[in-house]
A and B are shown apart, each in its own frame.
Chain A
């Protein structure tokens, strides 16, 4: 590959990278999309029609070989009620310290959207000024209104189905797809919410309720987390990337691991060094977009340090890798005495936003949301029931399997995660991955406020399940004692001030003029449990729109003036 082949190089093909590739290739720019993982074939790789369907998502590469976790905090006696447990196996974390049991993101074309539940949330506008309002995290350097047109555009591309009314997040147009009905199990949960004066509303989901653009509509198998074989789920590979490739302007190269970003003159980056599975390569990048997520993006930028960027690329502020925000959650699972058929339906077809605002939880800063989670807890198949719900053996086991299957109701709360000084991503001083690159060194600490937020979610989950008639709790999962990587944010903070942020409000490095970061690492705050995928897409569309519409910038890229 030689200089001049591409206008843009994008590293990472998840929500940020795939969306950027779509926008730029549609605008006529030549895009190279580099992805470390492999391609997945929805028709061949996802085995939901076989007896082996209950296997986890068929990862082809284990992402765990890229990270190391620093020793985490000792677990306090006063918070022992917040520890994860199962009625058969006891505490899930057997130690006295908080632990990680792995970093679970998908490496592949489409990124973690391949196994997400399809949640397509907009930020709550009330959660975007956390510094000004509460003195925590940082303010988003744009308003909800600034993002709104791009949210709407993203919803059109992936095909979001959602409720007609949304009093929290103002909309310029209806969702492109009609909302999905709640499952029977969710309607039973809803009764519990209602008894407590809470509302369980239909969730906004990138899941087709009617066939669109060659993609089938959902048939409610509940298998989103194992990969959607029908392509009704709007994962990035079957939406943005498919359309980007169809333009003829986007080339996707999978199995390519980027080792370093090389800088050029005049505060520009020149290109990237990568390994394509066989050989080391270099490609010029007139415009470079890094979209590897809140762990891998700072890792790559830190690895790219050189004489002109001695502390890592785009780390002039010293904030690179800091402000790491993770997933704070609580899940309670209980048995309902009546059959629910709770393995059926969309994984998170409904959601409660009642405590989503940052001041909604009494005495705690930062909000949360609640939703059904049988599928996310992987309590939808006979194997999980046998090992985690029923246990035992012999005729007693078999009889209880018959009495129990389909009776589980699970409820999860996901809350705001706020930065603290003990939670950050750096490079491990000695451990290397298979390519000889320093592993990401993840430091995580749950502080007092976060613990109180988890406690609130625990109490609420228990109260709702009890009110729904499923108060016989058999398992609870908590990020108080076990690190969760479901959603991670913040390590390349976006802001207007170069002294306190890594990228500007358009996701461009404050210093490196042709370097953009477009993933959840730019989030100044997490919101109160919103899934970040749609916000990443909206940020990417907004940033790419700026590039495309800026005649100076656009012609600069096209003419490779940066080089």
Chain B
């Protein structure tokens, strides 16, 4: 490996999409419904809620994800089915869609997806979307300050590298 690139490649999500220039595409919309597009941001915000940093949806991660999914076979279908599953879970108790639930209820449904057996749609949806959401979210400088990361590494470098870190938490 090359060990150097290998480790991250097998552990992290695919990191293959440009982060710039998202344009809502008719191609993507043909494979994913408006209803699903309503619940996807809520799902992503449950994974990455707002704190000192903006939430996932405020950084536009849902849009990046749909664009990314359009470039990978069956990914849009996975998003569609995953969001349908979220809405089905939401409507079972409340006759509402996922995005209309309160945060605790959303977390309960997301936990169910996370704990589902491997191979089920909801688990595949959770695993894949979480990994990609992390990649997109933590590629955004607005997510960095809260965790004490002052990057990117260049052009400034880390001239304080020999001193204890000074970043306030």
Using a CB–CB distance below 8 Å, which chain A residues touch chain B? 48-57, 86, 89, 92, 101-105, 112, 115, 181-184, 187, 218-223, 225, 229-230, 327, 329, 331, 339-341, 343-346, 376-378, 381-388, 393-395, 397-398, 401-403, 405-406, 477, 479, 482, 484-486
Contacts and interface: CB of A to CB of B under 8 A. Distances in A.
A219 to B, nearest CB: 3
Contact of A393 (B9, B130, B139): B130
B160 A344 contact: yes
A383 B141 contact: no
Contacts, number: 203
**Main SS of the interface on chain B?**
loop
19 contacts: A51-B140, A52-B139, A53-B151, A53-B152, A54-B138, A56-B5, A89-B11, A102-B1, A182-B162, A184-B162, A184-B165, A219-B154, A221-B157, A222-B153, A345-B161, A381-B151, A382-B149, A383-B15, A401-B146
Q: Which of B107, B141, B151, B161 has the most CB of A within 10 A?
A: B161
B163 interface: yes
A54 B154 CA distance: 12
Contacts of A329: 3
B153 A345 contact: no
A343 B53 CA distance: 21
A388 B11 contact: yes
A87 to B, nearest CB: 11
A395 B51 contact: yes
A383 B6 CA distance: 15
Contacts of A383: 12, 15, 134-135, 138-139
Contacts of B4: 57, 104, 115, 225, 376-378, 486
A485 B1 contact: yes
A103 B169 CA distance: 40
Interface of B: 1-13, 15, 19, 46-49, 51, 53, 107, 110, 114, 130-131, 134-135, 137-141, 143-144, 146-149, 151-165, 167, 169
A405 B149 contact: yes
Given A56-B9, A382-B143, A331 B161 contact: no
Can you list the 3 inter-chain pairs with the closest CB atoms, starting with the nearest? A104-B2, A219-B157, A341-B165
A378 B147 CA distance: 18
B65 to A, nearest CB: 15
Contacts of A393: 46-48, 110, 114, 130
B161 A405 contact: no
Contact of A181 (B3, B11, B162): B162
B5 A378 contact: yes
Given A182-B162, A339-B148, A344-B158, 5 more contacts: A221-B156, A341-B158, A345-B162, A393-B110, A477-B7
Contact of A406 (B19, B143, B167): B167
Contacts of A54: 15, 138-139
Contacts of A381: 138, 149, 151
B12 A220 contact: no
Q: Which of B3, B146, B158, B169 has the most CB of A within 10 A?
A: B3
Contacts of B143: 382
Contacts of A182: 162
A346 B167 CA distance: 19
